[in-house]
Amino acid sequence: MKKVAKSCPVIIGTGKSGHNRNIRKFVANNAELTSDAVFGKLRKHLESKLKRLGITASTELSNGEWVLALPNNRGKTGGVKHRDVNFKQPGYLTVLLFFGDRKSKGYGSAKIWRNTQTFMKNHTFIDKDKGEFKNHMRELQKFDELEEGGGRGLILSPDLFNCAIFDSRLWHQSLPHTSHAHRVSLTFFLKLKEGKLQPTPPADTTYSYYLKRNEWEAVDLSKYI
């Protein structure tokens, strides 16, 4: 984690224009940020942690990218509810590694609705609560109620944990970031290699969504690990 944090990208501020103040922005990972060698060590470490939970399959890593938010994001509502894959069977895990001042008030997190892998399995986004998406919140909550104390979704706690791993088929959304600090997360997929799994990896984020090189700079955030 400290090696990764030596070169975290953060968004270069753009003043009062509001440019780049969307709830999240993306940076495609490259060797300048996190090398394949470091990714390999991360993957092996996470495999060892997963084995303690009974997930013994070896993994492949793909789709490394950074998810960023400027300090004092003005967004008052969460991001679009989405799932990372719409495959029917399991096989992909989403990994989020949080960096920066994670314990600062308002550090933007994410919410996951548990047990929702079968809910609207042919969709990847819920944009508006109308048509076939009518009452989708009620349905998401019903699935989440299957967990003890559930019903409103699980909010990840980056102030307590710097890593989150979950089934990529689950519905989730980004929450607003209102901290004074940059919100920085490295995300990628782990594909479970054993068993009858989907053969193709998830698609990369559309390139047009990525920040250009002159819109971000690399900083050392290792002091927060």
**Domain of residue 128, CATH code:** 2.60.120
Q: Report residue 68 as tokens.
A: 């960023």
pLDDT at 127: 77
What whole-number distance in Å separates Cα of residue 221 and Cα of residue 217?
A: 12
Distance CA 87, CA 127 (A): 20
d(CA 113, CA 173): 9
Cα separation of 186 and 100, whole Å?
Answer: 11
- Phi, psi of 165, rounded to the nearest 5 degrees: -130, 130
What pLDDT is stored for residue 189 in this prediction? 94
**Token digits of residue 20:** 């780049």
Q: What is the pLDDT of residues 148-157, one digit of tens each?
A: 888 999 999 9
Mean pLDDT of all residues belonging to the chain = 89
Domain total for the chain?
1
pLDDT in tens, 56-106: 999 999 999 999 998 876 767 888 999 999 888 888 999 999 999 999 999
pTM, full prediction:
0.92
Mean pLDDT to the nearest integer, 110-121: 94
Provide the pLDDT confidence category of residue 206 given band limits of 50, 70 and 90.
low
When pLDDT is cut at 50, 70 and 90, the band that residue 195 belongs to is low
The answer to whether 104 and 67 are in contact (CB under 8 A) is no
Domain assignment of residue 63, given as a range: 2-224
How confident is residue 216, by pLDDT bands cut at 50, 70 and 90? Answer: very high
How large is the average pLDDT for residues 197-203?
A: 67
Comparing CA positions, the residue from 85, 93, 82 lying closest to residue 164 is 93
Q: Over pLDDT 90: what percentage of the chain?
A: 67
Q: What's the CA gap between 58 and 190, in Å, rounded?
A: 9
User: Tokens 């690399």 appear where?
Assistant: 218
**What DSSP character marks residue 117?**
T
Task: Flag whether pLDDT at 171 surpasses 90.
Answer: yes
For residues 87 and 117, what is the distance between their CA atoms, to the nearest angstrom?
A: 9
The predicted structure's pLDDT at residue 66? 96
